Structure 1
Amino acid sequence: MTATAAGWRKDFTWGVSTSSYQIEGAHDEDGRKPSIWDTRCRIAGKIGGGDTGDVACDHYHRYPEDIALMAGLGLDAYRFSVAWPRVLPRGKGAPNEKGLAFYDRLIDALLEAGIEPWLCLYHWDLPQALHDIGGWAVRDSAGWFADYAALAARRYGDRVKKWITFNEFAVFTLFGYAIDWSAPGITDRDTHLKVIHNVNRAHGMGVDVIRSLVPGAAIGAVHNRQAVWPEKDTDADRAAAALLHEHWNLAFPDPQLLGCYPPILGEAIEPYVQGGDMAQICRPIDFFGLNHYGPIFAKEEPDSTWGFAWGSPPDDAPKSEIGWAVWPDAFRDELIDLCKTYKLPVVVTENGCGGHLDAPDASGKVHDAHRVKYLELYTAKMREAMEKGADVRGYFVWSLLDNFEWGSGYGPRFGLVHVDYATQKRTPKDSYAWYRSFITAAKAK
Structure 2
Amino acid sequence: MSDVPHFGGDFLWGVSTASYQIEGAVDADGRGPSIWDQFSHTPGRTLGGDTGDAACEHYRRYGDDVALMADLGVDAYRFSIAWPRIQPDGSGVESRGLDFYDRLVDTLLEHGIEPSATLFHWDSPLALEAAGGWENRAITDAFANYAHVVGERLADRVTRWFTLNETVIFTLLGHGIGVHAPGKELGFDAMQVAWHQLLAHGKAVQALRAAGATLVGPANNHTQVRPIDDSPETLDAAALFDLVYNRAFLDPILTGTWPLAGIVDPVVEDADLAIISEPVDFLGINSYNPQYIAAAPPGSAVPFDMVTPEGLEYNDFGWPILPDGFTQMLVDLRERYGDALPPILITENGGAFNEEPDAGGRVRDQRRIDYTAAHLAALHEAMDAGVDVRGYFHWSFMDNFEWAEGYSQRFGLTYVDYDTQERIPKDSFHWYRQLIAAQKGRR
TM > 0.5 fold call:
yes
Residue 232 of structure 2 is aligned to residue 255 of structure 1: no
| Structure 2 unaligned blocks of 5 or more | none
Deviations 1:8-67 (A, max 9, x none): 232211000000000000011111111111111011111011100000000000101110
Q: In 1, Cα distance between the equivalents of 2:230 and 2:5?
A: 43
Name the residue aligned to 2:197.
Answer: 199
Q: In 2, Cα distance between the equivalents of 1:6 and 1:67?
A: 28
Change (3 A) 1:48 1:238: farther
Q: In 1, Cα distance between the equivalents of 2:71 and 2:5?
A: 26
Q: In 1, Cα distance between the equivalents of 2:300 and 2:400?
A: 30
Contact 1:174 1:247 in 2 (8 A): no
Q: Residue 222 of structure 1: CA displacement?
A: 0.6
Please, which moves more after superposition, 5-14 or 106-115?
5-14
Q: Residue 80 of structure 1: CA displacement?
A: 0.3
Please, which moves more after superposition, 383-392 or 53-62?
383-392
SS at structure 1 position matched to 2:29: coil
Q: In 2, Cα distance between the equivalents of 1:301 and 1:205?
A: 40
Contact 2:176 2:188 in 1 (8 A): no
Which amino acid in 2 is paired with 1:37?
A: W
Contact 1:197 1:269 in 2 (8 A): no
SS at structure 2 position matched to 1:30: helix
Q: Residue 170 of structure 1: CA displacement?
A: 0.2
The sequence identity of aligned pairs, in percent, is: 46
Q: How does 1:207-226 map to 2 (within 5 A)?
A: 207-215=205-213, 217-226=214-223
Contact 2:144 2:204 in 1 (8 A): yes
Name the residue aligned to 1:433.
Answer: 430
Q: In 2, Cα distance between the equivalents of 1:89 and 1:308?
A: 39
Pick from 393, 396, 408: which aligns with 1:396?
393
Name the residue aligned to 2:96.
Answer: 98
Name the residue aligned to 1:32.
Answer: 31
Pick from 312, 319, 326: which aligns with 2:321?
326
Q: In 1, Cα distance between the equivalents of 2:215 and 2:41?
A: 38
Q: Residue 138 of structure 1: CA displacement?
A: 1.2
Q: In 2, Cα distance between the equivalents of 1:138 and 1:306?
A: 25
Q: In 1, Cα distance between the equivalents of 2:301 and 2:8?
A: 45
Contact 2:399 2:415 in 1 (8 A): yes
Q: In 1, Cα distance between the equivalents of 2:115 and 2:21?
A: 18
Change (3 A) 1:29 1:271: closer
Name the residue aligned to 1:310.
Answer: 306
Name the residue aligned to 2:280.
Answer: 285
Q: In 2, Cα distance between the equivalents of 1:29 and 1:134?
A: 26
Which amino acid in 2 is paired with 1:201?
A: L
Q: In 2, Cα distance between the equivalents of 1:141 and 1:257?
A: 23
Contact 1:204 1:282 in 2 (8 A): yes
Which amino acid in 2 is paired with 1:199?
A: Q
Q: In 1, Cα distance between the equivalents of 2:422 and 2:45?
A: 27
Change (3 A) 1:303 1:39: farther
Report the aligned-residue RMSD: 1.7
Contact 2:171 2:191 in 1 (8 A): no
SS at structure 2 position matched to 1:229: strand
Name the residue aligned to 1:89.
Answer: 88
Pick from 368, 371, 375: which aligns with 2:372?
375
Which amino acid in 1 is paired with 2:59?
A: Y
Deviations 1:287-336 (A, max 9, x none): 01010111113342566654334321x21112212211111111112222
Q: In 2, Cα distance between the equivalents of 1:269 and 1:210?
A: 30
| Structure 1 unaligned blocks of 5 or more | none
SS at structure 2 position matched to 1:319: coil
Contact 1:188 1:305 in 2 (8 A): no
Q: How does 1:87-126 map to 2 (within 5 A)?
A: 87-92=86-91, 94-126=92-124
Q: In 1, Cα distance between the equivalents of 2:299 and 2:397?
A: 39
SS at structure 2 position matched to 1:418: strand
Q: Residue 271 of structure 1: CA displacement?
A: 5.0
Contact 2:164 2:218 in 1 (8 A): yes
Name the residue aligned to 2:138.
Answer: 140
Aligned residue-pair number: 435
